[in-house]
Amino acid sequence: MNNHISPENSVKVEIYDPDGQCAATWQGSGFHNLMEAVTAAYEGSNPLNMPAEDYVYRVTDLDRDTSARYRIDAGGRLRILPEEH
């Protein structure tokens, strides 16, 4: 998955805590890039009690049937993570 998503695409964001448990699931559209979707999911998923950088985000483009895992680094940039098997 690249960093471009189309605003008309439906996107699902699953937010995982450091223990690997799904803390929240969020779905929406209207985003131009993955960071916009992750930020909206984090801000719309209360009560998350840790900084956004402590979570792992699985972003799925439901229209393209693609997904990848990401983490926000210390500089506030979204970084792709290798898939776990």
DSSP string, 23-60: EEEEEE---SBHHHHHHHHHHHSTT--S-GGGSEEEEE
Q: With the CA atoms of 6, 63, 76 and 55 taken in that order, what torsion angle do they form, in degrees rounded to the nearest 10?
A: 160
Residue 3 lies in a domain: no
Residue 4 lies in a domain: no
Residue 73 lies in a domain: yes
Residue 77 lies in a domain: yes
Looking at the structure of the chain, the number of domains it has is 1
Write down the pLDDT at residue 58: 97
- Say which DSSP state 3 is in: S
Structural domain containing residue 29: 11-81
Tens digit of each residue's pLDDT (9 = 90 or more) over 24-69: 999 999 999 999 999 999 999 877 889 999 999 999 999 999 999 9
Residue 63 lies in a domain: yes
pTM score? 0.91
| The pLDDT of residue 15 is above 80 | yes
